[in-house]
Amino acid sequence: MIVAIDPGNYFVSTGSSGDFGAYVTPDNYSITIPTYPLYYLPPIPSVHTANFTTGNQLDTANNFALQLDLTRQDLRVTLTNVAGTRPGFPLNYNLTVKNIGGNSQSGSVSIDLDNKLTFLSASTSPDSITGDTLIWNFVNLMPLQSLSYDLLTRVDSLAIIGDIVLSTAQLLPLIGDLDTTNNFDESLSIITGSYDPNDKASVPDNAVPIVFMQNGQFIEYTIRFQNLGNDTAFNVIILDTLSNHLDIGSLEIVACSHDYYFNLYPSRLLEIRMDNILLPDSAVNEVKSNGFIKYKIRIKNNLNLGDIVYNTAHIYFDYNQPVATNTTSLEIVSFTELNEITYATGEIIVYPNPSSGIATVVFNNQEPISGKIEVSDMSGRVVMNIPSFIGNKVPLDLNHLGSGIYLIKTELSQEKKYYSKIILTNKEK
């Protein structure tokens, strides 16, 4: 649970027993729970006060009572690609089911694997396998309880770099479920060669319509890591300083590969600790040397067009120097309707990204499509125009452009628009 302390815009996280604390300077403070969990009744009381006139003072018993609404029914599924997608190599997924409602639920969860994947094994054997569809049944999943399934597959050795791999998950029952949108999830990736296994990604990716922010919808971040050392990593710590543009009070951990706990410090530092997880190095066990954490958070609703939300995480394996992930960027852009934009993690992928000049736009569509593409710089100036194309892959020669961030706008003949960003590096023009 996230607790807010004002003035000072302090945020702290509760421990496993619900306790929380913070060091503050002398002042009069209000203590609140800015965003209480879904399907919980409002906390009682709504606010506590603490008054400090000098140092070395302590204020205790700032307790909040929260009660789950037992009439609510809602299940959520999360599907995560834990590692890179390379021809002939293993690809492991994590499938997480959580009962976020108020009563126990029984049902089933399934995954439809992309036909470029071959199923090898799972941490819990499926109850049924039909073609590329695997199904697990569960009984009496209690409120706030989670189930986790780890799947091991292998990518077809004849898969072509640049091809899309799309696997989908579905959670039943749908009848009576208050939010059926979270009963479905997908993992979309592209076939690559070598890759950096310590990375950070967001959904949506690159561009966020301003109405998305105004409607209070969540951004989902995934941080992946792999032990590339030469021995077991006992502890993994992830430090993620959250952007000032993010609403810390809305933070929620969605899924994780290992047991964890997290701390939130007044400096907006999110610390995720996975103690004694005994993560093997990649030479000993390639599959189990990987891990991830996935969380969701809202963007503050006071941002302006053109504002960009940056985030970088640092991963510590025991006492070694930290490994920095890539920096994610989300720009607030102008759209009037949510259906005017689809993100790079959905219907469109741009790779490689970053690029040194040559890139490809790939559409997640089995049938050839047609449209036009514009590439603009961050000032809105159009720097490249493809007036028409037909097909699922469109090559882009950006060698004439300098280094920087560019917006790719694709408008299809079906009146659909897709947006993505590309970062050009090592270019002097």
Query: pLDDT value at position 246?
Result: 94
Q: Report how far residue 242's alpha carbon sits from residue 249's, in angstroms, rounded to the nearest whole number.
A: 11
Strand order in the sheet with 382-391: 382-391, 369-377, 404-412, 417-424
The mean pLDDT of 373-388, rounded to a whole number, is: 81
> Domain 72-195 sits in which CATH superfamily?
ntegrin, alpha v. Chain A, domain 3 (2.60.40.1510)
8 Å CB contact between 248 and 264: yes
8 Å CB contact between 133 and 121: no
CATH number, span 196-340:
2.60.40.740
Q: Does 277 score more than 90 pLDDT?
A: yes
Using alpha carbons only, how large is the chain's radius of gyration in Å? 23
Q: Among 139-153, 171-185, 305-319, 400-414, which stretch is predicted with the lowest mean pLDDT?
A: 400-414
**pLDDT-based confidence at 160, cuts 50/70/90?**
confident
Enumerate the domain spans of the chain: 2-51, 72-195, 196-340, 347-424
Percent of the chain residues past pLDDT 70, beyond the cut: 93
* Strand 261-264, strand 308-311: pairing: unpaired
For residue 82, give both structure tokens: 């834990």
Query: pLDDT value at position 342?
Result: 43
User: In CATH terms, are 72-195 and 196-340 the same topology?
Assistant: yes
Find the helix or strand (DSSP H, E) in which 47 lies.
none
8 Å CB contact between 382 and 376: yes
Q: Is 292 helix (H, G, I), strand (E, B) or coil?
A: strand
Q: Report how far residue 66's alpha carbon sits from residue 59's, in angstroms, rounded to the nearest whole number.
A: 21
* Strand 28-32, strand 2-6: pairing: antiparallel
Residue-wise pLDDT for 314-373, tens only, equals: 999 999 999 999 988 888 877 543 344 444 344 677 777 667 888 888 876 656 788 899
Tell me, which fold does domain 347-424 have in CATH?
Immunoglobulin-like (2.60.40)
Q: Does the model's pTM come out above 0.85?
A: no
Q: Among 192-196, 326-330, 333-337, 405-409, which stretch is predicted with the lowest mean pLDDT?
A: 333-337
Query: pLDDT value at position 347?
Result: 62
**pLDDT-based confidence at 234, cuts 50/70/90?**
very high
Q: Does 112 score more than 80 pLDDT?
A: yes
Dmax (CA) of the chain: 71
* Strand 128-130, strand 90-99: pairing: unpaired
